[in-house]
Amino acid sequence: MTGAGGTIGSALARRAVDCGAGPVFLLDQDECALHSTVLALSGRGFHENDRALLADIRDAARMQRLFRRTRPEIVYHAAALKHLPLLERNPAEAVKTNVLGTRNLVDAALQTGVERFTLVSTDKAADPASVLGATKRLAEEVLRAGAAQGARRIAFASVRFGNVLGSRGSFLGTVLEQLRRGLPITVTDPEATRFFMTVSEAVSLLIQASAMASHGEVYSLDMGEPVRIIQLVERLAALQGISVPPVRVTGLQPGEKLREELVGTQELRNPTAHPRIWNLGLKPVRPDLAQRLDELRAAAEQGHRKALIRTLGELCDTYRLPAEPPAPPAGTTTPAPWAALRPTGTTAPRTGTTAPRTGTTAPRKEPPRIRRELIPEPGGATPAPVAVHPERTMTTAPAAAAEW
């Protein structure tokens, strides 16, 4: 389980343990989240568990070593960067983890004989409008390309679904905190809608879709009807037994959609044996994918944002590229970020001489002197001097001070 410290990764691990699968190896680069999952599953910490793997999927050599050592039969790949606004500002990091990290795992799986490999994808990969959606869509293509490689066929599959209620960093948690504190609720747009699913529901359908896979399918889960964000806020407020506080509309941020789609405009939705799982018909994988991924890696490592975004758009032909900010008019300079902090207007230059100060000057207040006191040490040892401010004199009893 990659991303084992996250909501979906930890729930998948719990389900695998409950079903008697084993051994279950938990991989994450977040040591605190990984520790929480290990404790929840076994009740014991790292010192008694050698199946917790602290590693970053960006490290290709490390992934190769771990796969050779553990020899997994089934891989659930839930590790990803998912914070949409943050990834819009840091697209290179999204590429390194979501695309190139997935490629590292696929390469390791091909070389060690994994039987099944399932990627946890997102509905934002359908006609992506964000860096998050584009990188997850490209990760799906990495799996499809891997399905055609290797002497031993691996059952690769990608599974798309929308927002998971109660997941780490989810909108739900933010709204509940704002309701609890009586703050205005922030929403992007009154008409914005999203698909929602519970953790248990998502994990059950994810496992069943994985069992259907054979050669790189991309599945989409039936998420039900989309929910207006405003309606969700009203329901949450009702469950808390409070009235809905004022709503502050922030406007759609770069990369955000007013309405999410489950299937792209160039994708076909085909039924499967499960009524809530669709198999998406996609165009063939481009033959130069490996070469273009190398170009994408170079742009990410060198920090060439424009080249990176352009390559993402060429590899995901339905990616709605972000609009370039308008260039300043010729002959003007862009003000520094701190220019707004400067006072406006002009300051008249000082002229003439400065008038001497008249009257008496208030006596200057001397800073309080620090006196040193001796605090008794336990056992009659020589006391150590401690600086005590006269306005903050210690009132602790000597015994308590010595104990502290």
Residues 6+ apart with CB under 8 A from 207: 12, 15
What CA–CA distance (Å, rounded) separates 243 from 239? Answer: 10
The residue among 97, 102, 99, 100 whose CA lies nearest residue 77 is 102
- How many C-beta atoms surround the C-beta of residue 56 within 10 A? 16
CB 101 within 8 A of CB 79: yes
Chain Cα centroid distance, residue 122: 13
User: How far apart are alpha carbons 134 and 397 in whole angstroms?
Assistant: 64
**Is 124 annotated as catalytic?**
yes
**Distance (Å, whole) CA 158 – CA 121:** 6
Distance CA 250, CA 252 (A): 7
Classified as helix, coil or strand, 149 is coil
For residue 39, give the amino acid letter: L
Q: Say how far residue 95 (Cα) sits from the centre of its chain.
A: 13
Q: How far apart are CA 72 and CA 300, in angstroms?
A: 30
Instruction: Given the residues 82, 96, 124, 136, select the one marked as catalytic.
Output: 124
Just list the catalytic residues.
Answer: 124
